[in-house]
């Protein structure tokens, strides 16, 4: 990997809803100051975005409700050298976070149309969120492979357009 290579880290399974990190917002792009973690010894990448989909569900008087919040974790996200890192690398990292929002919207869409039984809520909710979570993780990996961790500017531009289109198509499921 070259000096601009980057990657994203997604947890292995859905996390319970908890307040942490920076919630995704269209008017709040990431800055290098948000990347407060430190790379582990031997990490070859120039930066790493650690994001999560925090989700929770409940039934009150047999009425189902759910929350899905895409978050960025500053303490485990890092950039090797913010002062010399390019705007292109930051755009690559931002797109990892934007992909997290795409999958948050997809999960909200599925939850809105799912007919979850309040008496069997937890197993059904867990199965549904795990499917979306796995799809999100696969897409994050495809993004890094396809763009060579942001080093392929042509593919990066294609992904930027694709993700913006997906965000627009799923606008009804923005929080």
- Domain boundaries of the chain, sorted by first residue: 6-173
Find all residues with CB under 8 Å of 160, minimum gap 6, and list them. Answer: 91, 95
This prediction's pTM: 0.87
Which segments of the chain have a pLDDT < 70?
1-20
Round to the nearest angstrom and report the end-to-end CA distance of the chain: 36
Segment 119-149, tens digit of pLDDT: 878 888 899 999 999 999 999 999 999 999 9
CA distance 33 to 53: 22
| Share above pLDDT 90 across residues of the chain, in percent, rounded to a whole number | 69
């Amino acid at each position: 990997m070259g000096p601009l290579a980057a990657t994203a880290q997604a947890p292995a399974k859905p996390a319970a809803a908890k307040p942490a990190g920076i919630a995704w917002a269209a008017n709040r792009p990431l800055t290098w100051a948000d990347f407060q973690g430190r790379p582990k010894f031997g990490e070859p990448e120039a930066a790493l975005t650690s994001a999560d989909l925090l989700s929770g569900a409940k039934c009150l008087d047999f009425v189902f409700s759910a929350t899905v919040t895409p978050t960025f974790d500053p303490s485990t996200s890092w950039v090797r050298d913010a002062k010399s890192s390019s705007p292109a690398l930051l755009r690559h990292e931002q797109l990892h976070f934007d992909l997290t929002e795409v999958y948050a919207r997809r999960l909200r869409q599925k939850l809105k149309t799912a007919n979850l039984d309040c008496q069997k809520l937890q197993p059904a909710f867990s199965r549904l969120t795990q499917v979306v979570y796995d799809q999100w993780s696969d897409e994050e990996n495809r993004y890094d492979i396809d763009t060579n961790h942001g080093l392929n500017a042509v593919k990066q531009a294609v992904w930027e357009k694709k993700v913006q289109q997906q965000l627009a198509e799923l606008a009804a499921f923005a929080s």
